[in-house]
Amino acid sequence: MSGPDAVYRLEDPFAFARAGGSRSGVIAIAAMPRLLDRVADTGGTVSYELRGRLDQRQRPLLELEVAGTAHMRCDRCLAPLDFLLKLASKVLIAEPGAAQPEDADDPETPEWIEAGQELDVLELVEDEILLGLPYSVRHGDGKCSDWSAEGGRGGKVSPFSALASLLDPEQTNKD
């Protein structure tokens, strides 16, 4: 691989920030390999919007918003659960080797990253989702699926119903 895919490559992020640039697009969850062990399947997409500007100290700043859906699994009932992602973050960008900002300890100061002559937007979005995606999700109280009562809705067959018919063949034959 020689650098990011052209679609996701942001040439000169510093100029982008100074010019107040903006860029948006849609990325499939499946295109972000580091998410794959965190989701139940690779369905779902996110849309992103990246905007550049200068902060009060005239430093280049990138603002990223990500919204979309990740297919996860409920920790309690193991049924699929669409997790709605709605994330927003800001990062200051600095030339490689630049000194840490003097206000880096200020909790109000956004995180900063070193950026080169190009920035991989997909990687930035992927990082943002990795930080924003919880390790464990659950349906709301009382909202969990009762798989056995619903007879395996969604194509999932309860292992117990299969076992029951194996153990009681006469019952099945009588019908």
Question: Where on the chain is the footprint of Zn ion (CB under 5 A)?
Answer: 74, 76-77, 139, 144
Nearer to Zn ion, 71 or 139 (CB): 139
- CA-based torsion, 100, 11, 52, 123: positive or negative: negative
Judge contact between 122 and 66, C-beta under 8 A.
no
Is residue 127 packed enough to be buried (19+ CB in 10 Å), middle (13-18) or exposed (0-12)? middle
Nearer to Zn ion, 74 or 125 (CB): 74
Least distance (Å) from Zn ion to the CB of residue 138?
6
Q: How far apart are CA 18 and CA 14, in angstroms?
A: 6
Could you give phi then psi for residue 44, rounded to 5 degrees? Answer: 100, 155
Least distance (Å) from Zn ion to the CB of residue 150?
12
The secondary structure of residue 109, as a DSSP letter, is S
Least distance (Å) from Zn ion to the CB of residue 87?
23
Least distance (Å) from Zn ion to the CB of residue 81?
6
The residue nearest Zn ion at its CB is 74
Nearer to Zn ion, 96 or 135 (CB): 135
Least distance (Å) from Zn ion to the CB of residue 164?
24
| Alpha helix ranges (H) inside 19-152 | 121-132
